[in-house]
Homo-oligomer: A and B are copies of this chain.
Amino acid sequence: MTNSALPIGIFDSGVGGITVLKEIRNRLPHEDIIYLGDTARLPYGTKSTSTVEQYAEGAAKFLLKRGIKILVVACNTASAVALKSLTERCFPVPVVGVVKPGANKAVVESDNQRHLILATEATTRELAYTKAILELEPDAVCQEIACPMFVALAEEGWGEGKIAVSVADKYLGFFKDQDHGPAPDTAILGCTHFPLLRDSISQVLGEGIKIIDSASTSAEQVVEVLREYKLKSDKTAVGRVEFLATEGVERFARVGGNFLGTQLSKDDIEVVDINLF
């Protein structure tokens, strides 16, 4: 069995999952966390399903060897294609992805079950959020929109301001002019980068639409699973965060710092070779 004194393990293809880390820390400041960004092999979004499965399993195996009590797959692509196989392989360590918690929340919050899903090209191609919503609510109407420029804006630290709003308007402006049928009342941020553009997106979509942040809903799910499995740390734990990357510590530090909202130095990041495991 797993051990409550072990850290929470978070895995992403890059730094985007730090938005999930932040939300977990907000709720569980005493928990130790290991964050692994597979920066040597990003982006996962353009890779085939079998490649993503193989990468995700390698990362999970690595974190299990280090010792973790729960695995958070803070990567939409890996959550979409590899969550089932990861759940089997990690047993008895529980696994939480980002897709299902976001879909659940959207269904609970919506009045008319019409949902807008904003994500990367790869995630929209998988229709992962649509499938998860339809499992809960077979009559729901979902519209997935690929917004790849949001990733570049978040990484550049330009999530707010004139350019971000113009880009959001180019992707989502049509929404205001739509006159066919009832409009969606929820918009899911289906990419871990997108919370950095939350205000810009909200400004374009207007007040009538609830923004569902999948980073925040996954963190809520982590709290719930730790409680259910009796895996919460006692209050003496210090809340240490370790960052691991498979390559490129300078970039990880600079871009990751934007996501974390505090400065990161490259000395804070350990380079690991996950292929050895």
Contacts and interface: CB of A to CB of B under 8 A. Distances in A.
Given A40-B51, A46-B42, A46-B247, A158 B149 contact: yes
A20 B121 CA distance: 26
B40 A251 contact: no
A31 interface: no
A166 B158 CA distance: 12
Contacts of A170: 158, 163
Contacts of A151: 152
Nearest to A169: B163
Contacts of A156: 148-149
Interface in A215-229: none
A167 interface: yes
A48 interface: yes
Contacts of A152: 148-149, 151-152
Interface string A41-53: 0100011100100
Interface of A: 39-40, 42, 46-48, 51, 121, 125, 148-149, 151-153, 155-156, 158, 162-163, 166-167, 170, 247-248, 250-251
